[in-house]
Amino acid sequence: MTSFLAEAGFAASEHETIQVLSTPDRVKRHYLNLVRIARSEILLTFPTVNTIHREREIGIVDELKKAVKRGVQIRILSPEDDFIKDKLDELRSSGVVIRRIETPTETKLNMIIVDKKVLLVVETKDDARRIFSQAIGLALYSNSKATVVPCASIFESLWRETYLYEKSRDAERIKGEFVNIAAHELRNPIMPILNGADLIQQGLMKHKDKFRKEDFEELFSSASLVIRNASKLMKLSEDILQVSRIESGVLSLNLEEVDLEKLVNTVIADIEKKYLGERDDVRIIFDSKLDIADSSSSGSSSENGTKIYCDGPKIWQTLYNLIDNAVKFTESGEVGISASVFKGEVMIQVQDSGKGIDPEIMDRLFEKFASKSNGGTGLGLFVSKKIVEAHGGRIWATQNKEKGGAIFTFTLPTDLLPEIPEEEISSAKDDKAASYASSQENVTGFKTLS
């Protein structure tokens, strides 16, 4: 027993030592012995998933279970995936406490600390190897307090960090679930309110002659107020949902062929309807040069405008955000919208004649919650930027030095195409229709960015 303890570093003498172990057999022997002689605590790190497989093969997992039965407290920091989860759960069920750590791929050191007195650090030479002796390199063994205590402190710091990370991740998940539920619950009753108020306005217009002028104006103004505020709630719920999707790391694009000129006109009509009877002193002017197709553009040009592949609803949302802001910040005058095609890009500009962009937020204009206006959430421009960039475009803002106000510009590539499902490609080949992807109309597909 004395020689066994001595080999593990628990010799009767108090002599401190640091050794480099160069042979796999010595490393394996020291490793197993350290687990076997542990009296109160084992701190262990697995740098990779493959490490767990190898150490199970040499008996480390079984020895850890035996140590738990002796009353030893064991804590492990380890990466985790679906392939290794069952093995880690096996250890958890025996009483071992394991926390998941996001380990960088370059980290190749396997560390075990026993009773805060002995340390073994094993180098991983080739993590692809399944056999322990072939995968490891050199190992450092020490019972020196000056070496062991700092390493134990590092482990404790990582342990606390992973705990905080897990709590933060849980909080983000719960927040995401709440935001989705809240946004959907907010949006569901809005549509009937909008539709009902719209029907009321249509009915008022149809029977206008049956009302006194004062009564008509009051009723019509009340319906407009309902529409305007319901539209604001609808926009808020859409922005919240988009932010939630963006922050989850995945943004999906449903690419389809869209006539941009028609899309812009639709947005203008929706904005005018929102401010009907409220902002008659503001005019929206659309100057479209989309019919002038540049030779380097792959977008299709026709009498109905230029069509490109994009996510129509999301580009609608971007346009709505920009034009709505322009109208909101223009006390009187014009909001100008221009669209053109140049060098493979569609460029759309929205100009207003308001106060311009506050210098305090100019540098963070497209960040979340960057807003100096009353009632503004600061989410619209953030969402717009992410949508445009997901399409491979650019968005920026400048002060309108000539007329005052602000100019917002964004671009979209004209060569963006949807992903064609494999079965459709195969079918196209069988039919000898190699030009299927470029000739078919209304082909839609999904593009996911993470």
Domain ranges of the chain: 2-169, 188-249, 250-449
Lowest mean pLDDT among 139-148, 245-254, 277-286, 409-418: 245-254
Query: Amino acid identity, residue 326?
Result: A
pLDDT at 4: 44
pLDDT exceeds 60 at position 426: no
Query: What's the whole-number mean pLDDT along residues 187-200?
Result: 86
The pLDDT > 90 percentage for the chain reads: 38
Which top CATH class is 250-449? alpha beta
Q: How far apart are CA 390 and CA 318, in angstroms?
A: 12
pLDDT at 278: 75
pLDDT exceeds 80 at position 226: yes
Q: Domain 2-169: give its CATH code.
A: 3.30.870.10
pLDDT at 123: 92
First and final C-alpha spacing in the chain:
57
Q: How far apart are CA 353 and CA 400, in angstroms?
A: 8
Closest of 104, 142, 139, 102 to residue 124, by C-alpha: 139
Q: Which residue has the tokens 């560390």?
A: 111
* 3-class secondary structure, 400: coil
Tokens read off for 227: 């529409």
pLDDT, one tens digit per residue, over 292-314 is 455 445 555 544 457 899 999 99
Q: Which residue has the tokens 């196209």?
A: 428
pLDDT at 208: 86
pLDDT at 359: 83
Tell me what the pLDDT averaged over the chain comes to: 82
Query: What's the whole-number mean pLDDT along residues 347-354?
Result: 92
pLDDT at 235: 78
CB 449 within 8 A of CB 251: yes
Higher pLDDT, 420 or 134: 134
Lowest mean pLDDT among 110-119, 240-249, 438-447: 438-447
pLDDT exceeds 70 at position 433: no
Query: What's the whole-number mean pLDDT along residues 151-176?
Result: 85
